[in-house]
Structure 1
Amino acid sequence: MKRIIRAWNKTNLIKRIGIGMTLGAILGLLVPNLTGIGLLGDLFVGGLKAIAPVLVFALVANALSQHQKGQDSNMKKVIFLYLLGTFAAALVAVLASFLFPVQMVLSSASTEVTPPDGIGQVLSNLLLKIVDNPVNAIIEANYIGILSWAIVFGVAMREASKNSKELLKTMASVTSKIVEWIINLAPFGILGLVFETISGQGIASLANYGILLGLLIATMVFVALVINPLIAFLFIKKNPYPLVWKCLRISGVTAFFTRSSAANIPVNMKLCEDLGLNPDTYSVSIPLGSTINMAGAAVTINILTLAAVNTLGISVDFATAFVLSIVAAISACGASGIAGGSLLLIPVACSLFGITNDIAMQVVGVGFVIGVIQDSCETALNSSTDVLFTAVAEFSSARNK
């Protein structure tokens, strides 16, 4: 048994995750009623979600407290890449909907969620999150609030004594070590998540929405493998695919199954560390990216909205669709880092075409039906791009020096 454990620990984490995925799929197909396996996935995701807010606060506050004037953190470039990538994804979704128009069957499907009233409320909610109570922000995993207060504490700690700064540094190191322990349990967590997905009935219910789901996935794959690498190449001036594949393989796989950008923050932090990136940058850019870098959300919003437009026979010119891309990109920045967050913003986009809230909520209902796959792909794209653009910003700055 000790030899097996030693061999397991020496095996590459990605290989161990692959073993977990395979076992989960086999168990899901052969013994779908086996109890307890799915709990492994819930525990893994729960652990990531629990530690992520503390990790973000500790790392950001520590990085800023240790920051020396004149150090380049590349944050301006990272934010520009986030916004550029999200808008480009929204525009690609519009073009895909024009080239391959799809319709959906609208029924009386309803949900218990309440969408925002408009783009103004989306932006208002974002601003209000900034001034949330710091303790409540950590409890509720409000990453905008956590970031804002971590910045305040970090800047204030610059004036503190050396011992106080060391205490904050120790807190960041201890939290990072806990994250490393949780990530090492990823193979078992992924096993449970795959089992839960395969053994459920979600896949069978997707048959009626196959074309719509296919367009969504194809567009996200195009963004991940063509648009994002193109943006990366324009900045780093070399083959971006080794970096793109690494981000998708490590960050994208776990994000696909956790279906939460917030839960994937610790995974992305560890990947940035492995890539040798500057902690001053990624300790801020990764949690920020889980909130505002939402290419997958922009794709979902635009394609589902235009599918509703096609179903209702509303004509759309490219200028209006371009405005839709801007609205979708801005709205996507307000998508929460939880499963299904982007779907609640569809009524905002639908309002541009005079579609009533009742019909828009039916579209949201369709989104929840296909969410088993759609939201997994969306989160994988969003989260892996956080690391990609953080790395691209740093590599391009190093190249220009």
Structure 2
Amino acid sequence: MKESKFWKQYGSVLLLLGGILIGSLIGIFSPDTGKILKPLGDIFINLLFTIVVPLVFISITAAVGTMVNRKRLGKILGSTLVTFIVTGLFASALVLIWVQFFSPASGGDIELSTTEIDKTQSVSELIVSTLTVSDFYQLLDKSHMLALIIFAILFGLCVSMSGGDESPVGKLLKNLNEIIMRFVGIIMKLAPIGLGAYFANLIAEYGPQLLGDYGRSMIVYYPLCLLYVLIFYPLYAYFSGGKEGVKRMLKHIFTPAITAFATQSSAATLPVNKEACEKIGVPSDISDIVLPMGCTMHMDGSVLSSITKIVFLFATFNLPFTGIDTYAMSILVAICSAFVLSGAPGGGLVGEVLIVSMFGFPPEAFPLIATLGFLFDPMATALNASGDTIASMIVTRLVEGKNWLLQHSTNGSK
């Protein structure tokens, strides 16, 4: 009986870890086999990416369109933005303290190479291209996630003003939302095999590069992320729902974190986060808004990464990383670069260009932090994505009060 209960609660996580472990061992001991398994991993990742755009559009539109209380909608959106900014500031404070003791570039032996940086957009062009697209079909591209979120919110408001959940479109959206979540459930049953194959190829192809000149930076960054999780996740969860909030967070946070670490994509982890929030007891109208916004705008792991990269460049170019103005600029650039990151792997390049241009580093600096971005990305994405689940809990606490967990019975609490 106890074994059955344990397996019910943690079986999916154990299968996921088992798949990744087996895949990693294949990549280490039989690289050729790992590369052969690549198509299986790619199929699973493609399935996750394929469902992202309809999931974001339908979940947000359904949540906003069927919400009778528009005051609640405003409170959710306001609480979401405040949560994203405050947690980003906490992450910034931690990394600024950490790098005073552990420099990511001390003892490094990294050669500069000349790489031309693409022409960066002006601030106004960046805002326009981030918030909007020039044609409807571009909304179907996951790289325009923020524009899709804004479009979905506006569409949902129009549905709400045209009859809400009692209108034919409102009923259709509700049914589509149920269909999408069933689709997600089917995809996630393939996760142990898909992520195992993905990791087998990843280790086979890139494993040796992880032990090169950038080893010290990883030694500084990865424990920093772990420290953030150990200190702030329990505090956020306790603020959200007391001891029960911490208990449920610990029970359900691992699957999103592992999936994000393996896929290196907040967007691909969105379906998994949705399931985790449902099990924790976060109301669907809150998670349907917070999670899609979070996979583009809530990037605590990327904030930690950005400031670490900034300190790395200061040390590499023998510049002193001191002064309130330098710290303030680092926080501003880190949060801004995190806000413009897309949910897809490689989106950090935008933030890296921003770092180089804002601090006036030469073009040679770009390949340095672009390489760091590749090495930091798995852990940064794990924090970004799992942090969205935590953010959903915080927003629920701000919207519904401290006793919200008592008001929502969940499968995960049984």
Settle same-fold status: TM greater than 0.5: yes
Check if 1:342 corresponds to 2:341. Answer: no
Please state whether the residue corresponding to 1:316 is helix, strand or coil.
coil
Post-superposition CA distance 1:117-158 (Å, at most 9, x none): 56665444323x3x5534321234422121112112212223
Check if 1:109 corresponds to 2:113. Answer: yes
Would the alpha carbon gap of residues 256 and 31 (structure 1) be closer, same or farther in structure 2, given more than 3 Å must change?
same
Q: Which amino acid aligns with 1:366?
A: T
Q: Which amino acid aligns with 2:23?
A: G
Would the alpha carbon gap of residues 121 and 239 (structure 1) be closer, same or farther in structure 2, given more than 3 Å must change?
farther
Partner of residue 284 from structure 1, selected from 270, 274, 289: 289
Q: Is the 8 A contact 1:20 1:190 kept in 2?
A: yes
Q: Is the 8 A contact 2:142 2:344 kept in 1?
A: no
Post-superposition CA distance 1:328-364 (Å, at most 9, x none): 11221111212132243234234444322x1321323
Check if 1:188 corresponds to 2:190. Answer: no
- What does residue range 1-400 of structure 1 map to in structure 2 within 5 Å? 12-34=11-33, 35-69=35-69, 72=72, 74-103=76-105, 104-109=108-113, 114=118, 116-117=120-121, 122-127=126-131, 129=132, 131-158=133-160, 159-160=162-163, 162-238=167-243, 241-319=246-324, 320-356=326-362, 358-368=363-373, 371=374, 373-395=375-397, 397-399=400-402
CA distance in 2, matches of 1:59, 1:353: 39
Would the alpha carbon gap of residues 122 and 301 (structure 1) be closer, same or farther in structure 2, given more than 3 Å must change?
farther
CA distance in 2, matches of 1:113, 1:50: 31
Q: Is the 8 A contact 1:282 1:390 kept in 2?
A: yes
Would the alpha carbon gap of residues 304 and 42 (structure 1) be closer, same or farther in structure 2, given more than 3 Å must change?
same
CA distance in 1, matches of 2:223, 2:187: 32
Report the Cα offset of residue 294 of structure 1: 0.7
Report the Cα offset of residue 389 of structure 1: 1.4
Please state whether the residue corresponding to 1:263 is helix, strand or coil.
helix
CA distance in 2, matches of 1:259, 1:113: 24
Report the Cα offset of residue 314 of structure 1: 1.1
The total of aligned residue pairs comes to 388
CA distance in 2, matches of 1:71, 1:303: 40
Post-superposition CA distance 1:297-343 (Å, at most 9, x none): 11111111111111211123230113211221122111121213224
Q: Is the 8 A contact 2:58 2:176 kept in 1?
A: yes
Structure 2: unaligned runs, 5 residues or longer: 1-6, 405-414
Q: Is the 8 A contact 1:90 1:298 kept in 2?
A: yes
Report the Cα offset of residue 32 of structure 1: 1.7
Structure 1: unaligned runs, 5 residues or longer: 1-7
CA distance in 2, matches of 1:343, 1:200: 21
Query: RMSD across aligned C-alpha pairs, in angstroms?
Result: 2.7
Q: Is the 8 A contact 1:260 1:337 kept in 2?
A: yes
CA distance in 1, matches of 2:145, 2:257: 20
Would the alpha carbon gap of residues 135 and 341 (structure 1) be closer, same or farther in structure 2, given more than 3 Å must change?
same
Q: Which amino acid aligns with 1:107?
A: E
Please state whether the residue corresponding to 1:336 is helix, strand or coil.
coil
State the TM-score, normalizing by the size of structure 1: 0.87
CA distance in 1, matches of 2:354, 2:199: 33
Q: Which amino acid aligns with 2:91?
A: A
Report the Cα offset of residue 72 of structure 1: 3.2
Q: Is the 8 A contact 1:63 1:283 kept in 2?
A: yes
Q: Which amino acid aligns with 1:162?
A: S
Would the alpha carbon gap of residues 348 and 251 (structure 1) be closer, same or farther in structure 2, given more than 3 Å must change?
same
Provide the identity percentage: 23
Larger mean CA deviation between 359-368 and 89-98 belongs to 359-368
Q: Is the 8 A contact 1:81 1:389 kept in 2?
A: yes
CA distance in 1, matches of 2:244, 2:101: 29
CA distance in 2, matches of 1:293, 1:66: 25
Aligned to 2:4: none
Q: Is the 8 A contact 1:40 1:193 kept in 2?
A: yes
Aligned to 1:3: none
Post-superposition CA distance 1:205-252 (Å, at most 9, x none): 433211111111111111122133334434544475434434541110
Would the alpha carbon gap of residues 175 and 18 (structure 1) be closer, same or farther in structure 2, given more than 3 Å must change?
same
Please state whether the residue corresponding to 1:337 is helix, strand or coil.
coil
State the TM-score, normalizing by the size of structure 2: 0.85
Would the alpha carbon gap of residues 224 and 134 (structure 1) be closer, same or farther in structure 2, given more than 3 Å must change?
farther
Q: Is the 8 A contact 2:240 2:402 kept in 1?
A: no
Larger mean CA deviation between 206-215 and 289-298 belongs to 206-215
CA distance in 2, matches of 1:264, 1:70: 29
Q: Which amino acid aligns with 1:79?
A: L
Q: Is the 8 A contact 1:122 1:331 kept in 2?
A: no
CA distance in 1, matches of 2:66, 2:376: 41
Q: Is the 8 A contact 2:249 2:280 kept in 1?
A: no
Please state whether the residue corresponding to 2:260 is helix, strand or coil.
helix
